[in-house]
Amino acid sequence: MPQLPYLDPALTAEERTEDLIGRMTLAEKAGLLFQPAINIPGRITTSEAALADAGRKIADKLISHIHVMDGDDAAEIAKWLNRLQRMAAETRLGIPISFSTDPRSGFHSSPFTGKTADAVSRWPEHTGLGATRDVELVRRYADVIRREMLATGIRVYLGPMADIFSEPRWSRGFGTFGEDPELVSEMVTAFIEGLRGGLELGADSVAAVVKHFPGGGPQLRGMDAHDKRFREQVYPGGRQALHLRPFEAAFDAGVTQVMPYYGMPVGTDWQERGFAFNEPVITGLLRERYGFDGVVCTDWYLLESTTVENISFGPNGYGLEHLTPTERLKAALDAGVDQFGGDDCTERVVELVSAGELSEERLDVSVRRILLEKFRLGLFERRYVDVEQARVVCGDPQQHALGERTQAASLTLLKNDGLLPLAPGTRVYGEGIEKEFLAAPLVRVDSPAEADVIVVRLAAPYETDPDSALGDWFHAGRLDYPVEVIDRVRELSAHAPTVVAIYLERPAVLADLEPVAAALVGEYGASDAVLIGALQGATDFTGSLPFDLPRSMAAVEDSREDVPFDTTDPLYPYGHGLTLGAERTPETQAMRS
């Protein structure tokens, strides 16, 4: 029996796509427009429940894009995804699944923005990569992610973030490469190229989904739009064009997928509705001005609601809350969107076409883009992976060592009153550090009174929000430390010189902390072992701040959300960083003037 044309790898991706479109029913086309999540069995779901969920989505709804949630063991992930691919192969057309994931290689773990996984190499958050200033290192990092994802069967990476960290309070800022649009642009380019692994998307590539178009950084007061109370994105400085620069770099780099943000722009010439429903942004700007003809996938759950880790989430159809889910779906398709993250309501597409409210020709425009990506990724020929090889690749000691070296390279020495490096035999008392890492050649002591030096690890400040439906997954609010934290460090420093290491998830206000610390270290995701090694001089401090550290909350509150480097007289400016020898010259930023 002759092979069906869409299964013939000798034909072009375009030829195979056209043949397959001609064979598809309306229901099969509708299935392509959704990318819901399926949890790996184990931590929060059983195999039976996960399999039933997969059957409903893959066999019944004919969905062939799946967002992989949870899972830690690389071989178990690979085995489960192979099982789902077999389920897809048994459908009438056998369209393989494109599996996607949020970031998995950093230190910040959230059911909404990415799950840390010990099975893969561990790196600093992306602000830490910005702190290294090493564009080639970012390319190597993305190449490692590419190999790890390929090994487990995941072919789409929901990133990188091309957003600019212009609002210091923004709770998503740790996922950016920092505050400088030019550095962000360079690193976004390198990341996309590293994931692709060649000049063009192919069978050894992972597709990047650059986000969050047209730039999610200017959220009002830094409150994130995952929360329905905080829809507004604002541009008091009129810098809309500035936030587009990293996306322009991504387009030049050949990115094939784009995700618009939840945010609703206020006080601009754009429509006051979420970006995925915003025709001037998606069609006028992205499609027409930039000529982007790849896949546009919305952020998650714009149409219907769900439950994530027992938390109710969505729908986030800002500005169109009064519409039905079907009406919002049509509004997004009319705006130029192709695919919907999280949702799985395929029947609504069938309803729109059957009612004559959506033409099948318009549907085919999105179906064509989505299928082309599958063919270019070689999914029809390589849908399964070697389970044991997944464990080998993801456990590669060289990749893990490179991640640890990058953690060390990102560490930023903000202040050193001659205390560092710590000499062998130094008696150290620690807080916020696992005791096992205060070991020889240091001497661990159990009280501040016995110590020669005290080491304290702190997280950047944030305010808890009892009214948040999302719990404390998004750290927002004030950036200065409460008095009890300052008093505790002051109390410790009365016993011995104190090193304070701060996880700079956001740009903390350190003006009250700085006088009582003999040394200050900024980190962006680093293990205790890496940090303690650096304090002893095992590695030098080479990181530079990827953003300003404001002098006060008043300066933060007076700054404009869309304007980088807008806090007056920062305590430590962008580019600041010391070595164990001498201060480096801070980088001059033309935009500051």
Question: Which positions are annotated as active-site residues?
Answer: 299
Please give the DSSP secondary-structure letter assigned to residue 167.
Answer: S
CA 356 to chain centre: 38
Scanning the structure block, which residue is given the tokens 């990102």?
410
Q: Are 485 and 432 in contact (CB under 8 A)?
A: no
Structure tokens at 133: 């200033």
Q: Are 505 and 475 in contact (CB under 8 A)?
A: yes
**Would you call 501 helix, strand, or coil by DSSP?**
strand
The residues pairing with 341 across neighbouring beta strands, listed in sequence order, are 35
The residues pairing with 307 across neighbouring beta strands, listed in sequence order, are 312
Residue 72 corresponds to which amino acid? D
Distance CA 57, CA 64 (A): 8
Scanning the structure block, which residue is given the tokens 């507004």?
232
Distance CA 436, CA 444 (A): 9
CA 339 to chain centre: 19
Please give the span between the terminal C-alpha atoms of the chain, in angstroms, as a whole number. 71
Dihedral (CA of 169, 174, 179, 184) sign: negative
Helix intervals (H) in 103-160: 126-132, 135-152
Distance CA 479, CA 11 (A): 57
- Classify each residue of 191-229 as buried b or exposed e, where b means 16 or more C-beta atoms within 10 Å of its C-beta: bbbbbbbeeebeeebbbbbbbbbbbbbbbbebbbbbbbe
Distance CA 318, CA 263 (A): 7
Residue 227 has phi, psi (to 5 degrees) of -90, 125
Q: Are 460 and 480 in contact (CB under 8 A)?
A: no
